[in-house]
Structure 1
Amino acid sequence: MSLFKREDREARTDRIRDDLHDIGDQGQALGRDLRDDAQDAIEEARLQSEEQYARMAAEARRRNRRFKRSANQSLNECDRYVHENPWPSIGAATLAGAVIGLLIGRR
């Protein structure tokens, strides 16, 4: 009878050992799958951020060109006005200088 108990005990021990190996193998496979999924997610996030950066850079360049064009247009209009109306321009500049001088002098 003790022979059967020993064989039964050894069989259970072997099954537990096999189950533990299976659990270890499944854990390793799960770890590999998680690593692969994480790498895929990181790559997708990198691609999305590069696309967004490219869009933002293009938008910034477009806005910069528009701002430069607007600033040049305003400067040209100001220059034209001063050439057409020199005395009112001198008066406005003098008045602005006096106001700024008074404000600075109060400090």
Structure 2
Amino acid sequence: MSLFKREDRQARADRIRDDLHDIGEQGQALGHDLRDDARDAIEEARMKSEEQYARMAADARRRNRRFKRSANQSLDDCDRYVREHPWSSIGVATLAGAMLGLLISRR
């Protein structure tokens, strides 16, 4: 009777060892799958961020050009007005300077 128990124990131990081995292999396979999925996700995120950066950079360049045109147009308009109305420009500048001086002196 003890012989059967010993064989029975050995068979159970072999099954447990085989099950643990299978679990280990499945764990390794799962780890490889997760690693591959993570690489794919990282690559996809990198590509999306590069595309978004390119769009944002193009938008920034476009806004910069628009701002420069607007600023140059405003400067040209201001220059033209001062040349056409020198005395009123001097009066406005004097008034603005006096107001600024009053504000600064009150501090």
- TM-score w.r.t. length of structure 2: 0.96
Structure 2: 5+ residue runs without aligned partners?
Answer: none
Match of 2:75 in 1: 75
Match of 1:30 in 2: 30
Alignment of 1:29-68 (within 5 A): 29-68=29-68
Amino acid at match of 1:44: E
Residue identity opposite 1:100 in structure 2: L
Normalising to structure 1: TM-score of the pair?
0.96
Quote the offset at 1:2 in angstroms: 2.1
Q: Report sequence identity in percent.
A: 84
Q: Give the distance between the partners of 1:5 and 1:106, measured in 2 at CA.
A: 104
SS in 2 for 1:87: helix
CA deviations over 1:8-29 (Å, ceiling 9, x no partner): 2111110110000000110111
- Give me the CA root mean square deviation: 0.8
Q: Distance in 2 between matches of 1:97 and 1:83?
A: 20
Aligned pairs, number:
107
Give the equivalent residue in structure 2 for 1:15: 15
> Runs ≥4 in structure 1, deviation > 3 angstroms?
none
In structure 1, C-alpha distance between the alignment counterparts of 2:26 and 2:97, rounded to whole Å:
81
The CA deviation at 1:34 is: 0.7
